[in-house]
Structure 1
Amino acid sequence: MSKCFVLVAIAASAMLSFSLTFASESWPQFRGPRGDGIAIEQSPPVEFGEDQNLTWKTDLPGKAWSSPVIANGVVWLTTAIERIPTEEEREALLKNTKNDAKKFKTLAIAKAIELKLLKVDFESGRLLQTIDLMTVDTPDAIHATNSYASPTPFLNDDHVYCHFGTYGTFCVTRDSGAVVWQRTLPLEHGVGPGSSPIVHDGRLLLIQDGMDRQYVTALDAATGETLWTTDRPPMEAPSGDQKKAYCTPVVATDSNGRQQLLCMGSQWMVSYNASTGEEFWRVFHGKGFSVVPRPVLLGDVVFFATGFASRELWAVRIDGVGDVSSTHVEWTAGKGVPTKSSPLLHDGLIYLVDDNGVASCFDPETGDVVWKKRLGGKFSSSPLLAGGHLYFGNHEGEVFVLTTGEDAEVIQTNQLNGQIMASPAAIENALIVRTDSALYRFE
């Protein structure tokens, strides 16, 4: 890589260290203060379990894969209470959808869902409040491995923003739990909602990549009013199924001083002006679709996974203009790349785990593989770096703890009673883990 890249990367690392001094105060969004899964200042336990280093465990109602967000002594989580159909009712409900009968085995559907926001006391684990947001009759079908409440909320000032995709977007006051405003932005997700919201400069930013339409939009965080909407670039695909995506946006400032909104999607990674929705640049990454992993940044380079049908890891410079497909791609790597879990970049190395439990470490300058290690199990949750250790949680309820660096090792495997789909949080030297049935605090 160029000398310019190295200098910018050093500056970015300095900014990261400064930002992380505030990490103990809050965990406000998907993957933490900077949205990258890093909490260097924290020292959560390496060994923990149902009867080890457990401060509290709180049973949670409903089914949701959204991750916990934390501030001012409160843990916030969304959930969906499903009215489960009988097998006969399920078949009838699925027949009324647009789905091919061949896909019925991979789908789940509810007769109705109640969308709720949960408020949990960080010190005691006590459920302080259950806030009713909306009841949805005859919701769409979702993939059997998804939930109706997968997007993670965002904490900003005195409010918590909850997004359930096509089922509703809500601004809720953190003190009283009152709903300030709500919007419904209809979208055909195909397999359910997934993209989490972010708030930046008074704008609630949403990636809306459905089967029927693909666009990015900004809502006024105070009122919910639409400020701008920008359609995604044209795609070459036989159906909307290969145009949909579920990524969460990232805000970055390049070396030219441009503040960019990076929105990964099917076939294209696109950079927008967060204030206006105007496009800065785009890069064509191929036929990848249903993209889930959130990108990570180092200086003027963004690293992202390309989704199903592609499964590559790309490194692209963000200082370009227009279509940069032939000019700004630093490298691509095609093995061991996840379709669900997000990468983690720290101290000159990229860590990730693929869907089938193989963890990998890449060199961000070259894309070369530094190491691979089989952990085992199925993975959707994104990794966490805290206290000098990496935490990886799988569907089987195992949390693998690894050391960092080129000689990383698995030093501990912890077992919980449940399925881990949500990404963990680290705050006040505690580890917060959500499973399919409970919320844990370990320290």
Structure 2
Amino acid sequence: MKIYNHPSLSRGVLALAGLVFCSLNAGAQGWPEFRGPGGSGQVEPGARLPLQWNETSHVKWKTAIPQVGWSTPVAMEGRIWLSSATEEGRDFFAFCVDAATGEILFEKKLFHCDEPEPLGNSVNCYAAPSAALEPGRVYMHFGSYGTACLDTASAKVLWKRDDLPCRHYRGPGSSAILYKDLLILTFDGVDRQYVTALEKHTGKTVWRTDRTTKWNDLDENGQPKREGDFRKSFTTPIVVNADGRELLVSPASSVVYAYDPSTGKEIWKVAHEGHTAQVSPIFADGMVLAATGARTSEILGIRPTGDVAWRFGGKDVPTTPSPIAAEGLLYMVSNRGTMTCLETGTGETVWRERAGGNYIASPILCGDRIYFFGNTGKTTVIRTGRTFELLAENELDAGFMASPAVLGNSLILRTKTHLYCIEGP
């Protein structure tokens, strides 16, 4: 195992990196965004991920990542990209890591903020949004603190935007996604809430759509009764093809929205009683599956027309980890460690199991295995099916706040301190 602790860069390393890419048996798609291809959390068919590991077993390399970041690594063409920021939120960085060796190829400061808004909690950080990646370009995103497009061969900045306002209140969280020639960004703050699409080659705004939420937290003067928590949101949208029509599904506080991804036109919305939405939606078996957030926590089964088919509520509904669907079943883990399996078509409970621990990161599905990543560094692996079956429990030294990535047969795991490449049976 190779261990890199805050490695320094050299012209020789950069030159070599520019000439040689290691594929790690990766598929063509790699892991281009938060939750992978399509934002579903599903690994490409045929991948053989390891079942068991620890700090001394099946770790191909381990690299310390400076500063603080909860963003999911994105990976393609033998390179891994991830973001980081100083703890107080004044400086924002992009990192590029060689997927074969774990060496840091590029460390690039992208933005600076003299007076970042305090986070007010220990759950989030200033580099939580994940990047979006395609051949030749990576799109680093830090919410209202800035968005930049970099050339993946040289890390040269091709364009920047730092004029998209939003008061995140507790730090940014929504990740960037790509759709055709658009980079779609979400800004749900306490002062304003909107979704916008930038032309990915130039960074110019193509469309911007304000949320049409009817807020019920105003006093007689039209001001929020309680500042902050009821209006902000941290979700990452997905684009789904439902009955031949593409929808940008974008949950927010109090409402789940669907837009035309090409124009930003609102198609439908579903109101609910939750707030501070963080769970990203998925689309399975012809159903949009979305979580409402805090206070009134529910999973909604929404038809592509915007009609709610079923609701599942209660303390077992996650408010941060996103769910996984496979063969008519929905799998989820609550923030406090309860795993639940539902039928996607009806919302009926199939099984419920207490796994223990706390969870922020979202799970992934590989074949008939689901991997859940806990805050303390434990990964629980179960088998899909109508009966709970535990396959393995694995431990690393530091906990997971970032969701995982997959490159070929390798697990790319980001803990609070390090980036790991895990391989093996």
Is this a same-fold pair by TM over 0.5?
yes
Pairs within 5 Å for 1:216-231: 216-231=195-210
Closer/same/farther in 2, CA of residues 23 and 315 from structure 1, 3 Å limit? farther
Is the CA contact 1:24–1:428 (under 8 Å) kept in the aligned structure 2?
A: no
Pairs within 5 Å for 1:163-312: 163-184=141-162, 185-238=164-217, 239=224, 240-255=228-243, 257-284=244-271, 286-312=272-298
Number of equivalences: 386
Is the CA contact 1:27–1:33 (under 8 Å) kept in the aligned structure 2?
A: yes
Displacement after TM superposition at 1:25 (Å): 4.5
Pairs within 5 Å for 1:11-410: 23=27, 25-39=29-43, 40-82=45-87, 110=88, 113-142=90-119, 143-184=121-162, 185-238=164-217, 239=224, 240-255=228-243, 257-284=244-271, 286-318=272-304, 320=305, 324=306, 328-335=307-314, 336-410=316-390
* CA distance in 1: counterparts of 2:129 and 2:116, whole angstroms: 16
Q: Letter of the aligned partner of 2:216 in structure 1?
A: A
> 2:7 maps to what in 1?
none
> 1:105 maps to what in 2?
none
Closer/same/farther in 2, CA of residues 22 and 249 from structure 1, 3 Å limit? farther
- Which secondary structure state, in structure 1, belongs to the residue aligned with residue 94 of structure 2? strand
Displacement after TM superposition at 1:260 (Å): 1.2
* CA distance in 2: counterparts of 1:427 and 1:347, whole angstroms: 24
Q: Letter of the aligned partner of 1:113 in structure 2?
A: R
* CA distance in 1: counterparts of 2:282 and 2:364, whole angstroms: 13
Deviation per CA, 1:174-196, whole angstroms, max 9, x where unpaired?
01101111112121111110000
Displacement after TM superposition at 1:24 (Å): 6.1
Question: Is 1:439 matched up with 2:393?
Answer: no
- Which secondary structure state, in structure 2, belongs to the residue aligned with residue 218 of structure 1? strand
Deviation per CA, 1:302-354, whole angstroms, max 9, x where unpaired?
00110011110000111x2xxx5xxx110000131100000101111101100
Closer/same/farther in 2, CA of residues 348 and 22 from structure 1, 3 Å limit? farther
* CA distance in 2: counterparts of 1:113 and 1:412, whole angstroms: 40
Closer/same/farther in 2, CA of residues 387 and 317 from structure 1, 3 Å limit? closer
Displacement after TM superposition at 1:280 (Å): 1.2
CA RMSD of aligned residues (A): 1.5
Is the CA contact 1:24–1:41 (under 8 Å) kept in the aligned structure 2?
A: no
- Which secondary structure state, in structure 2, belongs to the residue aligned with residue 165 of structure 1? coil
Question: Structure 1 or 2: larger helix share?
Answer: 1
Is the CA contact 1:44–1:387 (under 8 Å) kept in the aligned structure 2?
A: no
Task: Report the TM-score, using the length of structure 2 for normalisation.
Answer: 0.88
Is the CA contact 1:254–1:299 (under 8 Å) kept in the aligned structure 2?
A: no
Is the CA contact 2:30–2:406 (under 8 Å) kept in the aligned structure 1?
A: no
* CA distance in 1: counterparts of 2:276 and 2:282, whole angstroms: 18
**Structure 1 vs Structure 2: percent identity of aligned residues?**
38
Structure 1: which 4+ aligned runs deviate by more than 3 Å? Answer: 21-25
Displacement after TM superposition at 1:156 (Å): 2.0
* CA distance in 2: counterparts of 1:365 and 1:387, whole angstroms: 21
- Which secondary structure state, in structure 1, belongs to the residue aligned with residue 411 of structure 2? strand
- Which secondary structure state, in structure 2, belongs to the residue aligned with residue 191 of structure 1? coil
* CA distance in 1: counterparts of 2:233 and 2:393, whole angstroms: 32
Unaligned 5+ segments in structure 1 are: 1-20, 83-109
Is the CA contact 2:68–2:85 (under 8 Å) kept in the aligned structure 1?
A: yes
Q: Letter of the aligned partner of 2:143 in structure 1?
A: G
Displacement after TM superposition at 1:299 (Å): 4.2
* CA distance in 1: counterparts of 2:148 and 2:27, whole angstroms: 26
Is the CA contact 1:25–1:427 (under 8 Å) kept in the aligned structure 2?
A: no
* CA distance in 1: counterparts of 2:167 and 2:265, whole angstroms: 25
Displacement after TM superposition at 1:279 (Å): 1.2
* CA distance in 2: counterparts of 1:408 and 1:179, whole angstroms: 48
Deviation per CA, 1:230-286, whole angstroms, max 9, x where unpaired?
11113223235311111101101221x2211111111111111111111111111x2
- Which secondary structure state, in structure 1, belongs to the residue aligned with residue 90 of structure 2? strand
